[in-house]
Structure 1
Amino acid sequence: MSEAKKKLRVTQVRSLIGTKREHRACVRGLGLRHVNHTVEVEDTPAVRGMIRRVSYLVKCEG
């Protein structure tokens, strides 16, 4: 039986207007499209790094 993957709920809380191109790319890579949009993503080191980079734009719940 395979183990269930841990998920993180990520919500975009600030607009992308005026942010760096790399930060906008990270938010889009997480699957977020607009303010108050919430997605569930797998808890991997790559995703955690993306969340850390744009922590001022998103809210993360374990």
Structure 2
Amino acid sequence: MASLKIKLTKSKIGRKVGQIATIEALGLKKIGQTVIKEDTPQIRGMIKKVCFMLDVEEV
């Protein structure tokens, strides 16, 4: 299965509660932090919700 490399590029400060929860559910805590997740519909939906705060790359 394919993987996605997800990097947080913008701050969580001042965002809506749902957006902060989504970022934390992806495992991101700090700006510049990167995680690798499997490419599933659930992860794609989370990315879509906060896409303006992330850089996503297929690995």
1:56 aligns with 52
Let me know the Cα RMSD of the aligned residues.
0.6
Structure whose residues are more often helix by fraction: 2
Rg comparison, structure with higher value: 1
Gaps of 5+ in 1: none
Question: Of 4, 23, 32, which aligns to 1:36?
Answer: 32
Percent of paired sites with the same residue: 36
| Aligned pairs, number | 58
Letter in 2 for 1:35: I
Q: Which amino acid aligns with 1:13?
A: T
Give the TM-score normalised by structure 1.
Answer: 0.90
Question: What are the equivalent positions in structure 2 for 1:14-25 lying under 5 Å apart?
Answer: 14-25=10-21
